[in-house]
């Protein structure tokens, strides 16, 4: 399909029965592309729906010493920058440069918490921010 393999015969994966045969004419390019897009759809990263960085406040139901009653997670464009025991600590950290990078596992955890409403969504100023993800796509969560 892409021309990555030279030759006129079906691809090596077709010979091993690991390919549905677009290279051999057993499936159309449209069928192949639809199947490919469907497979990739589960790994799609959603656009960041917030106007800026967030603090996610999580309440501890039954804190045990020395566990704090609430924790704050600093997140920006799906990048987790750290957790803090107070909003002031989180705000101070957000004023510094972070070297953290996108992590797919963190993305899924953050998305799940936002969709399920497990955290309060705050701006860096500590004021509530509307959560457009609340309840969205529950059937597609991981």
Q: Quick check: 141 pLDDT over 60? A: no
Query: What is the pLDDT confidence band of residue 9, given thresholds at 50, 70 and 90?
Result: confident
- Asked if 72 and 82 touch (Cβ cutoff 8 Å), the reply is no
pTM, to two decimals: 0.72
Please name the residues in contact with 78: beta carbons below 8 A apart, sequence gap of 6 or more.
45, 46, 48, 102, 106, 107, 110, 111
- Band the pLDDT of 5: cuts 50, 70, 90: low
- Average pLDDT for the chain: 89
**Predicted confidence band of residue 12 (pLDDT cuts 50, 70, 90):** confident
């Amino acid at each position: 399909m892409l021309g990555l393999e030279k030759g006129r015969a079906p691809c090596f994966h077709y010979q091993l029965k690991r390919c549905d045969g677009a290279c051999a004419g057993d499936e159309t390019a449209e069928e192949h592309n639809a199947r490919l897009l469907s497979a990739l759809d589960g790994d799609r990263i959603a656009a960041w729906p917030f106007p800026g960085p967030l603090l996610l406040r999580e309440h501890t139901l039954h804190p045990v010493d020395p566990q704090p009653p609430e924790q704050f997670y600093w997140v920006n464009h799906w990048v987790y920058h750290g957790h803090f025991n107070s909003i002031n600590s989180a705000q101070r950290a957000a004023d510094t440069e972070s070297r953290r990078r996108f992590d797919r596992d963190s993305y899924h955890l953050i998305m799940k918490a936002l969709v399920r409403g497990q955290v309060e969504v705050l701006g860096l100023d500590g004021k509530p921010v509307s959560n457009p993800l609340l309840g969205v796509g529950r059937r597609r969560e991981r």
